[in-house]
Chain A
Amino acid sequence: MPPSSPQRDLLDPDAVKSASALGLIARKIVEGYKVGEHRSPLKGFAIEFAQHREYAPGDDVRHMDWKILGRSDRLFIKQYEQDTNYMANILLDASGSMAYASGGLSKLHAAKIIAACLSYTIVQQRDAVSVGTIGGEEPVLYPRTDTPARLPWVMESLAPLEAAGDSSLGADLTRLAPQIKPRSIVIVLSDLLKGEDEFFRSLARFQHQKTEVILFHMMDPAELTMPFTGKVRFEGLEGEEPLITHPEEFALAYREEVQRFCKGIRTQCEACDAHYVLVDTSKPLGETLGEYLAFRQRINR
C-alpha cells in the first residue's frame, strides 16, 4: 500500500482481518473525525468534573469557569470525566449475505471497522462495550470491556469474524436478550436482507426495557444501484436459487424495490424509537460515523 494514501489503507480487507490493524484503523478514524471537536461525541451518557485547563482560542466559552475569572481575572475552562454507567452492545450480522463485496470491502468488513471505531470511542469515554455476532452460525456476545487496555481484546474478537450461515437475526437477538442489561445501548450492524420482521419484533423487547437501539444498515453500492449489464447469473450467498437475467433491463425497478425496502426499515426503526443509519460501504466510513455522532450531539444538546 502506498504510504501516501492512508484512507485506502484503512479500507484494505486484509488489514481488517488483523486485530492490531483493526485497532489502529479505529483509532485513526475516530481521531480523524474528532479533530477540532472538544466535546464528547457521546456526551449525555454520564459526565463528571475532572479538572481546570487554561483557556485556548477555539474553546467553547460555555465551559468557561466564570468564578475563577471573577476572582483572578484569568481564563480557565472546566473539563469533565465520563462515567462508565452505560453499556454499549455492538452486534454484527455475520450471515452469509454480509460477505458480499462489489469492490474490495465487504459489508462485514465495513461493519467490523464501524464496530471497532465505536468500541474505541466508547471505551475512551469510560463507558463499557461488548461486541457480539448474530445471524451467523451461532449468536455470541463477548464479555464487556471498559478500559482502553482491554481494547485489543475487542479487536481480536472482531478481526477473525467470517460471514457464514443464514440463521434468523430476530431469533438470535431474542437468544442474546437476557445477556443485555436494561437501559443500555444496542448497536446492530446488519444488511437485514432476511427476517427483518422478526428482527423488529425482537427489538420491541428492548423498547420496553428502555434500551436504546441504533441500526447501521449495511448496504453495498452495487446492491443499491444494480450496475451489472449483459447476461448475468446471480448466485445467492445464502443458498437461494441461481437467477439468470439481463439486469440492465430491470435496473430501474430493482432500485425502486431497494429504496422501498430501505424506507420500510427506516419506518420500522422509527416505530421502535431506534436510530437508523444507512451505510453505503463505498463511502468513507469515518464520514458516515462522524455524521451520525454529530447527529447525536445535536439531538442531545
Chain B
Amino acid sequence: MHLLSPIYLLGLAAVALPVLIHLIRHRKVTVVAWAAHRFLQAVVRRLQRRRRLNDLILLLLRCLLFILVALLFARPFIGGGQISGGDGAQVVLLLLDGSGSMGTSNGVRSGFDQARDRALEVLDTLPPTSSAGLILFAGRAVPLVSPPVRELDTVRRELERAVPMPAGSDLAPALEAGLEMLKGMRNARIVVITDGRQGVWADRAKLEQLGEVAAAGNISLEVIDTSETGDLPNLGLVSLESSTARPVAGQSVALGVGVRNGGTQPSERTRLIFETGKDFPVGEAWVPALRPGASTVVQAKLRFDKTGWQTLTARLPGDGLAMDDSRTIGLQVRPRLNVVLVQGASAPGRGVPPGFFLEAAAVPVPVAQERDFPVAVTTLQASQLDAAHLQTGSVVMLAGLTELGRGQELALKEFVRNGGGLLITPPAAEAVRTAYLTRPPLEDLLPMTDLSFVEAEATYATAPPYTSPITAFWNDSAAGSLEAFIVQDHLRGTLRDNASPVLPLADGDPLFATQSVGAGRVFFSTVPLEGSWSDLPLSPQFVPLVQRTLEWLSLQSEATPQVAPGERWSLTVPLVHAGQPFYVAGPLNPDEPQLAGEVELVKNRALINEASTREPGAYRVYLDPAGPPVGAFGVNPDTAESDLRPTPNAEVPEWAYAALSSGGTTGPKAGPLTRWLRALPEPWVLLAYAILLLGAVELYLAQRFSRPT
C-alpha cells in the first residue's frame, strides 16, 4: 500500500480535536450547593459507568473518522514506488486502436470491447509494482494515461471510459510518442492492440523505422490482433457530393454517392435512402452488387422545395460497421438568382451592346425555357438603374459603363456592403478609355487600382492548377480548358491588399480579380466581355465561366458542406451578428439547439466557428434557436475505416508480423482470485464508504446517547 499524497497524513493531527473538545467541555465547571444529593448519587452511581462507556465509544468513533479522512486525502493505492522497470517490474504502454473500424460489431460485442478485454488481461498479468500507460490511436495519438503510472486501477478506469472515434487508425504517431515516452526505461514494453485493418500499417516505412528505434532502445514491441475471422459484410459510403452547394429550390440537383464494399464477401443490390432534416426520406437510389474491395459512384437527382440551409443524409441499411452506413452534407437551397444587367453604350462600329454576351451566357437557354432556368436577367440602361432594381436582384453586372450618377454609386456601394454581388467590365470604346482609366465608376469597389491599357500583346490564360473557387472547376481536364482563347488587349493595374487574382495571364497580369467588400463580393474583368479585346465570349468555356462567376457572386458566405470528426467548421455571417451567441443542433441533440459559442470577429469578418464536431452526423447552426438555421453541415468519418479486410502480410511491418506470428501477449494469465481482488474498488473508495458509514453510526449514537437517561 502506498500513498499518492502523503502530505495529507499531517491531517492525522486532527485526531487531537475530539480529545481537545472533550477536555474543553469538561474544563468549565459550575458549582452548585445541593440538597437533594441522595437522588443524584443514586442515579449517577447507576448510570455513570454506562455514560462513560458511551462517551468513550463516541470519542473513539470521532478520532477514527478523522484518521480515515486524513487517509482518504492521502489517496492510498495498492502498489507504488518509483516508476522503473527494475526488480522484475515492467513498464507497459498500451497502444489501443480507437479508430472507427473498432466499432465493428458481431451483434453482441464490438471490436473495441474485445480490444479493451485484451488490454485488461495485459494489466492483470503484470508483475507487482509494474506501471502502465495508455494511448488511444485514431489517426492521431490520444494519451489517456501518460506517462505510465503505478496505479493500474487508473489505467483500468480510463480503459472503461474509452470509446472508439470515427477517425482513421494510423499507428505511427502513437508509436512514435510511446517510444519517446519510454526512452531509457528498463523492462519497457509497448503493446499494440488493434484489429489490424489496412489503415493501421498505412505508413509502413515510418513504422519500420520506429521498429528499429524500439530495438535500439531495448523496448519490446508486441501486437495483439483482435480482428475477427470469418465473413464480415460491410457496404460503406465513402463520399457524398452535390453538383452545387447552393441548389435552387424546385430544381433538380445531381448527387454522386461513393459506395465501397469494405467487407469480406460480395454485397447484393442495396437500396440507398436520402434524408433531409429529421430523418425525412426524400429520395432513393440503388447500389449495384459489389465484390469485396470494389467501389462505385451512385448517381441520383433530388429536388428541394424549401429554401434555406438543410442537411442531406445518404443512408444504407445497417451492417457490421455502423459508422460508414451514412454520410451527411449541408446544402443551402436558394431561390432563383435575379441578375440585373446594366450596360453602357455600344462601341462605334459594333452592332452588339456591351452586355450582349453576358446576358446570353447568364441565361443560356431558349426563350421558352427561360422560366425554368435558375438565373433570370433584367437588362437596363445606365440611366434606368435605381434603388428599386437593386432590391430585386442579388447580382448586378455593369457592362461597359463609363459613368454613373452619384446617387447610383452610393446605392451600389450600399448594395455590395449588404451582401450583393457586383460584376464590372470596362468599356471597349477607345474614345472613352482615357476617361475611364482616369476615373472609373465605383473606383472604391474595384479590386485593382492604377489601371492602364495594355495593347496588342496577344496572350493566353495560364494552365491549371487554379486556386480561385471560380476557376478551380477547370483543374479537372474533363471540364475543358481555359487556355484556348486569346487576349489581345487588357487592362493592367495594382491589386488591392484584400483582392485576389483570378485566372492569371501568361504575362503575369490577372485576367480577372475579385475582392470582398463588407458582406458582398466584387468581380472585375480586365477585358470587356463583348469580343473586341478577346475572343473569350466566343469560347465554349465562357458560359460555364459566367455561370460559376454568378454563383460565386451570389454566395454571401462560403461554408464547407462536410468536415471530418474533430475538424472545425466555419461560416461567414453578416457583420451585424458579431458577438452574438450561436446554437448548434448536432446528432446528439437534433431537436434542441444548444448554445455553442459566440460569433467571432476575425479580420473584419463575422465568423461562426464550430469545433465540437466529434460525433458523425448532421449539424444545424442557428443564431436564433427558434428561427431557421443559418448554416448546416455534415460530419463524416474517415472512409479508410470502411475497409474491414485484413492487411496483406506483405504490407505489415516486419516487427509487427513477427510479433503476430509469435502469438502476441506473453506471461501467465491472472487467476480468478487475482481478478476478483483487482475488481474491488480502490482503497480510497473503500475509505470513503467507511467514512460515510462511520459518520452515520456516529450521528445515530450521538443522538441516541444525548437523550436524557
Contact = CB atoms under 8 A, between A and B. Distances in A.
Given A99-B35, A100-B33, A247 B40 contact: yes
Contacts of B269: none
B37 A240 contact: yes
Interface string A17-37: 000000000000000000000
A248 B36 contact: no
Interface in A196-250: 220, 223, 226, 228, 230-238, 240, 243-250
A257 interface: yes
Residue among A191, A226, A253 with most chain B CB within 10 A: A253
A230 B43 CA distance: 17
A191 B40 contact: no
Contact of A249 (B26, B36, B708): B708
B369 interface: no
Contacts of B216: none
B435 interface: no
Interface in B8-38: 25-38
A258 interface: yes
A175 to B, nearest CB: 24
A238 B33 CA distance: 10
Contact of B30 (A191, A233, A252): A233
B13 to A, nearest CB: 26
Contacts of B51: 246, 249-250
Nearest to A106: B35
A250 B27 CA distance: 19
A220 B39 CA distance: 14
Interface string B316-357: 000000000000000000000000000000000000000000
B674 interface: no
B28 A231 contact: yes
A261 interface: yes
Interface in B35-93: 35-44, 46-48, 51
A150 B583 CA distance: 106
A237 B34 contact: yes
Given A253-B47, A257-B42, A223 B36 contact: yes
B708 A237 contact: no
Contact of A248 (B32, B33, B708): B708
A234 B37 contact: yes
Given A248-B708, A249-B708, A250-B47, A231 B33 contact: no
Given A235-B32, A257-B42, A250 B708 contact: yes
Given A245-B44, A254-B40, A257-B42, A193 B34 contact: no
Contacts of A249: 47, 51, 706, 708-709
Contacts of B30: 228, 230-233
A184 interface: no
A167 interface: no
Contact of B29 (A220, A233, A240, A250): A233
Contacts of A245: 40, 44, 48
A248 B51 CA distance: 12
Contacts of B29: 231-233, 244
Nearest to B54: A249
B23 to A, nearest CB: 11
A126 interface: no
A231 B708 contact: no
Contacts of A107: 35
Interface in A71-109: 96-100, 107
Contact of B38 (A193, A230, A235, A248): A193
Contacts of B46: 253
Contacts of A230: 28, 30
Of B25, B40, B42, the most chain A CB neighbours within 10 A belong to: B40
Interface centre among B26, B33, B36 (most CB of A within 10 A): B36
A251 interface: yes
A100 B34 contact: yes
Nearest to A246: B51
Contacts of B28: 230-231
B413 to A, nearest CB: 88
A193 B41 CA distance: 13
Nearest to A220: B35
Most buried by A among B31, B44, B47, B706: B44
Contact of B709 (A191, A238, A252): A252
Given A248-B708, A251-B708, A252-B708, A234 B42 contact: no
A201 to B, nearest CB: 19
Contacts of B40: 226, 234, 243, 245, 247, 250, 254
Given A240-B41, A249-B51, A193 B36 contact: yes
B55 to A, nearest CB: 9
A247 B102 CA distance: 73
Given A228-B30, A232-B29, A233-B29, A191 B44 contact: no
A258 B32 contact: no
Nearest to A234: B34
A198 B41 CA distance: 21
Contacts of A234: 32, 34, 37, 40
Contacts of A244: 29
A139 to B, nearest CB: 20
Interface of A: 96-100, 107, 191, 193-194, 220, 223, 226, 228, 230-238, 240, 243-254, 257-258, 261
6 contacts: A99-B33, A232-B29, A233-B31, A244-B29, A249-B47, A253-B43
Top 8 closest A-B pairs, CB basis?
A: A100-B35, A97-B35, A252-B708, A234-B34, A240-B37, A223-B36, A257-B39, A236-B37
